[in-house]
Amino acid sequence: MTYCVGLLVRDGLVMISDTRTNAGIDNIACFRKLHVFEEAGSRVLAIASSGNLSVSQSVLSLLNEGLPNADTGGTETLADAETMFQAAQMVGRAVREVYRRDAASLEQQGSHFEASFLVGGQIKDGRLRLFMVYAAGNFIEATGDTPFLQIGETKYGKPILDRAVTFNTDLYDALKIGLISMDSTMRSNLAVGLPIDLMVLRRDALEIELRHRIEPGDAYFEDLRHRWSEALKTAHLAIPRPRYGQPVS
């Protein structure tokens, strides 16, 4: 299982991903799912992936090595995308190419073609943008109204995002809330787990501001988990018990 979240706020972009991959609960391994393509001063792209690991790794290999372009007859890599929109389109075409190659064989073996991607970043003087690309190669974009996108095991971690994140949220508050969302997911689904990869890209910086892997024992994350757990307990204790059916005192 996987959980990845991207948050696009006024000051920048945060992307967070767990690293756990499993084929059944007795076959659990750690793979990087957050990939950063950076040419400092010119472009920063980050791609987080969810779904069948062979599919998402093939998509990333195609984006690196060259994807057939039917229009030009040549191949193109992610480095050729001149805008974030073109980058999202290219990820979509790579997914369709892997589908064309692998989907029928996967189905024959009872495996389902599953893949989704978060594609965030900024290219030259274009806008900082964040997209979610589906298995069909189509995609949607985060907006000021909904400044976050999630892939994988998304539901456990959504309530805190729904309540706490707006476009005006501080960049490092967005990182913090993203980590709380990740914590909620890990608490309720053991197939999502540490380490966690994260990156922070400030708007118009064209250079990664922070890249970090949270390993087991990370002091900040352990403190966050503890404080959040205590805060939730305190929060519900501060709410009066229901008095339905009892006389109003």
Least gap, CB of 66 to a copy of itself (angstroms): 33
* H helical segments located in 40-130: 53-65, 84-108
Specify the residue, 124 or 227, whose C-beta has the smaller distance to a copy of itself. Answer: 227
> How far is 104 from 84, CA to CA, in rounded Å?
31
> How far is 180 from 54, CA to CA, in rounded Å?
29
Least gap, CB of 164 to a copy of itself (angstroms): 6
> How far is 68 from 98, CA to CA, in rounded Å?
11
Specify the residue, 20 or 129, whose C-beta has the smaller distance to a copy of itself. Answer: 20
**Residue found under tokens 């960049």:** 171
Specify the residue, 105 or 188, whose C-beta has the smaller distance to a copy of itself. Answer: 188
Least gap, CB of 158 to a copy of itself (angstroms): 5
Least gap, CB of 110 to a copy of itself (angstroms): 19
Cβ within 8 Å of residue 154, ≥6 positions away: 3
Specify the residue, 110 or 242, whose C-beta has the smaller distance to a copy of itself. Answer: 242
Binding site residues, a copy of itself, CB under 8 A: 155-156, 158-160, 162-164, 170, 172-173, 175-177, 179-180, 184, 187-188, 198, 209-212, 220, 223-224, 227-229, 231-236, 238-245
Specify the residue, 76 or 153, whose C-beta has the smaller distance to a copy of itself. Answer: 153
Cβ within 8 Å of residue 90, ≥6 positions away: 63, 67, 76, 78, 80, 81
Q: 60, 177, 79, 200: which is closest to 128 by C-alpha?
A: 200
Specify the residue, 80 or 173, whose C-beta has the smaller distance to a copy of itself. Answer: 173
Least gap, CB of 236 to a copy of itself (angstroms): 6
Give the amino acid at 62: L
- Tell me the two tokens of residue 108: 């024959």
Least gap, CB of 241 to a copy of itself (angstroms): 4
Q: Yes or no: say if 159 and 183 are a contact pair by the CB < 8 Å rule.
A: no
